[in-house]
Structure 1
Amino acid sequence: MLTSSLDMLEESLVKKIDILTRIEDENEKQREVLSSMDEEREAEFDATIDKKTELIDQLGLLDDGFQSLFDRVKEEIGANKDQYKEQIKRMQKLIEEITGKSASIEASEHRNKRLAEQYFSSIRQKMAQGKRSSAVAFNYYQTMTNFKDIPPQFLDNKN
């Protein structure tokens, strides 16, 4: 029973590493899209966010399952550490790998966040510039429509 539970815990960690690797890949795609972002690539950006959301949901399910299984066998593992020493070492290595991948993902998320902020800032500036241009054009239009109603100022009345 305990051996199969440990196998399931180890398998869960391997799946988590796979999902984290896929998240790293999506982060890299997102970085590439954000580096050359324009209106045509917004759909790609949205797709990477959707994919990452799906992967993060899978991670949450894996974590919940891992924790509940671990809570059930924790005492037995502690009592029989020597018997399961090799499997525990393998799981510790997997956990170290997960920790490294998590740190890498966090760093790439921060980089992507800065790129996204830069992109959205430039979009806001363009929108503000467009708004100012529209206001100037509207004021010009209003001014020009009011000029046609002004009667001539210098008229010769000698006839």
Structure 2
Amino acid sequence: MDNTGVYISALQESLQKKLEVLNSLLKLTNEQRKILSEQDPNMDRFSSIIDEKDKLLETMEILDRGFESLFAKIGTTIKDNKYQYQQQITEMQNLIRSITDTGLQIEGQEHRNKTAFQNYLTGARREIREYSTNHQMANAYYQNMANQHQSWQSYFVDQKK
């Protein structure tokens, strides 16, 4: 294969782009952590970050498919000539290590964010439940006060002592 060097460069470039995408995902995941740690989280921003992360994940899926198809073409050539491409193979291995490390960081932060988000939802549900209970109690009080006076009762109070 004459183009093996070009294909290997394309593989390296694909791995570098994947690392860049993962670093962007890590940055957005950390931003979500900051939002969830605020007293009054901006859930609109939180939601927009989710949309941004979806786009990045789609990009990463495209990169993965491209890498796999390209590696399927030249994988055996690289394995058969591993000494000839030793430097490129080493660089790709280093990129894969960095990708794996970044992926693990994202996974850990996502787990912590999930816990923080569940805590936020629990608090929000509690506030809604308390508001509903208070609203029902206030309605019952006002109905009770409105029903205190019966039509047969007199409005006049006896002033004699």
TM-score (norm 2): 0.89
What does 1:115-126 align with in structure 2 at a 5 Å threshold?
A: 115-126=116-127
- Name 1:93's counterpart in structure 2: 94
- Name 2:53's counterpart in structure 1: 52
Q: d(CA) in 1 for partners of 2:17 and 2:142?
A: 64
1:16 pairs with 2:18: yes
Q: CA deviation at 1:148?
A: 2.4
Indicate the SS of the match to 1:149: coil
Mean Cα deviation higher: 142-151 or 112-121: 142-151
- Name 2:63's counterpart in structure 1: 62
TM-score (norm 1): 0.90
Q: Which amino acid aligns with 2:21?
A: I
Q: d(CA) in 2 for partners of 1:37 and 1:11?
A: 42
- Name 1:28's counterpart in structure 2: 30
Deviation string 1:62-98 (CA, Å, 9 cap, x unpaired) is: 1111111111111111111111111011100100110
Q: CA deviation at 1:150?
A: 5.2
Q: Which amino acid aligns with 1:93?
A: N
Q: CA deviation at 1:57?
A: 1.1
Mean Cα deviation higher: 121-130 or 42-51: 42-51
Q: d(CA) in 2 for partners of 1:70 and 1:105?
A: 26
Q: d(CA) in 1 for partners of 2:82 and 2:39?
A: 53
Identity, in percent, stands at: 35
- Out of 6, 9, 19, which is 2:8 matched to? 6
Q: Which amino acid aligns with 1:60?
A: E
Q: d(CA) in 2 for partners of 1:140 and 1:88?
A: 77
- Name 1:81's counterpart in structure 2: 82
Indicate the SS of the match to 2:82: coil
Unaligned 5+ residue runs, structure 1?
Answer: none
Deviation string 1:11-67 (CA, Å, 9 cap, x unpaired) is: 00000111111111111111111100526x111111211111111111111111111
The size of the alignment, in residue pairs, is 154
On the 8 A contact 1:37/1:119 being kept in 2, the answer is no
- Name 1:142's counterpart in structure 2: 143
Indicate the SS of the match to 1:147: coil
Q: Which amino acid aligns with 1:47?
A: S
Structure 1 segments of 4 or more deviating over 6 A? Answer: none
Q: d(CA) in 1 for partners of 2:11 and 2:29?
A: 27
Q: d(CA) in 2 for partners of 1:24 and 1:37?
A: 23
What is the root-mean-square deviation of aligned Cα atoms in Å? 1.8
